[in-house]
């Protein structure tokens, strides 16, 4: 891949590869839209449905790692080591402390990966190759992407079967969605023909405001088949849960947010045909 201004040029074509393991990237180039919250809590809900899940933290901020209560200072290997291929993928996988939920953690070292990957062989495929080695151990692999469209996100999109796009209920949401969808189309055409958008999930929804309702209706008008039925509500409790290293189903199991992520898990499974 080469970048020329705002144009992305792809040189490698991927053969379609069927996997029994579903690999789902949680992606949006905008920050603060609920990617990590969605990745972590969707993973937890899939586990509650009997799925074996690997959560991959692909954001240098390492928020998914922290959200599961994992201390980053204690890590012996991270996704950075996996992408640099200095460790076997199994060495980068740790337990989350929850049955059937494992984690490939991230820390600040990952910030340099985009630069270091640029000159390496198969730079777009490193995460794909790593996941292939351990895919039979899991039913779902969920990748929490960084808020950018660089090589870390591109690695996730080349590894994934499908993409779930969290979209905040705000005025500029549709503009960002159109840009992301264009990028996903180019990735599918140039690199990963099996990549599909499984859905767009509206986050931080406050039904008391006209703006939130208008944004949902506008997205539904332009992308009627993509928008998820489930709306993730704005909630103080879901913001608090990561500070305790807990999923929302552990922190506030009867709250609206926990119920919403339970419904989202069912919808994602339905949309994936599982």
Asked if 24 and 172 touch (Cβ cutoff 8 Å), the reply is: no
**In-domain check, residue 3:** no
Residue 181, domain member (yes or no): yes
- Cβ–Cβ under 8 Å, residues 111 and 61: no
**pLDDT the model gives residue 1:** 42
By the 8 A CB rule, do 199 and 181 touch? no
Total number of domains constituting the chain: 1
Instruction: Establish if 2 belongs to a structural domain.
Output: no
Q: E strands within the chain?
A: 2-4, 7-9, 22-26, 53-57, 94-98, 101-104, 140-144, 162-168, 196-205, 227-233
Rounded CA separation 241/244 (Å): 5
Beta strands 101-104 and 94-98, pairing class: antiparallel
Q: Residue 225 sits in which domain range?
A: 17-271
Residue 153 has a pLDDT of 94
Q: Decide if 12 is inside a domain.
A: no
Does 9 fall in a domain? no
pLDDT of residue 274: 67
In a domain, 225, yes or no: yes
Q: What is the pLDDT along the chain (274 residues), one digit of tens a residue?
A: 443 333 333 333 333 334 589 999 999 988 889 999 999 999 999 999 999 999 999 999 999 999 999 998 889 999 999 999 999 999 999 999 999 999 999 999 999 887 899 888 899 999 999 999 999 999 999 999 999 888 999 999 999 999 999 998 887 777 778 888 888 999 999 999 999 999 999 999 987 888 888 889 988 888 889 999 999 999 999 999 999 999 999 999 999 999 999 999 999 999 998 6
CATH number at residue 112: 3.40.50.300
Residue 207 in any domain: the answer is: yes
Q: Does residue 11 fall inside a structural domain?
A: no
């Amino acid at each position: 891949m080469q970048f020329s201004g705002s144009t992305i040029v792809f040189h490698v074509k991927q053969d379609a590869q069927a996997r029994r393991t579903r690999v789902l990237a949680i992606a949006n180039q905008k920050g603060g839209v609920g990617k990590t919250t969605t990745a972590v809590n969707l993973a937890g809900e899939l586990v509650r449905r009997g799925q074996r899940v690997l959560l991959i933290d692909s954001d240098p901020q390492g928020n998914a790692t922290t959200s599961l209560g994992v201390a980053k200072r204690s890590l012996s290997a991270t996704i950075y080591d996996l992408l640099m291929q200095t460790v076997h993928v199994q060495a980068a996988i740790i337990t989350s402390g929850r049955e059937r939920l494992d984690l490939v953690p991230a820390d600040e070292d990952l910030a340099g990966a985009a630069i270091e990957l640029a000159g390496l062989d198969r730079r777009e495929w490193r995460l794909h190759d790593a996941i292939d080695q351990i895919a039979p151990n899991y039913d779902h692999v969920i990748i929490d992407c960084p808020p950018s469209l660089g090589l870390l996100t591109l690695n996730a999109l080349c590894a994934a079967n499908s993409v779930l796009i969290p979209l905040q209920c705000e005025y500029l949401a549709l503009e960002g969605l159109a840009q992301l969808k264009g990028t996903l189309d180019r990735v599918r055409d140039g690199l990963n023909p099996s990549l599909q958008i499984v859905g767009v999930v509206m986050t931080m929804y406050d039904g008391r405001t006209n703006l939130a309702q208008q944004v949902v209706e506008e997205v539904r008008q332009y992308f009627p088949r993509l928008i998820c039925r489930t709306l993730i509500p704005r909630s103080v409790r879901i913001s608090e849960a990561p500070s305790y290293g807990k999923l929302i189903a552990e922190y506030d199991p009867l709250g609206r947010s926990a119920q919403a992520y339970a419904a989202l898990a069912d919808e994602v499974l339905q949309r994936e045909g599982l």
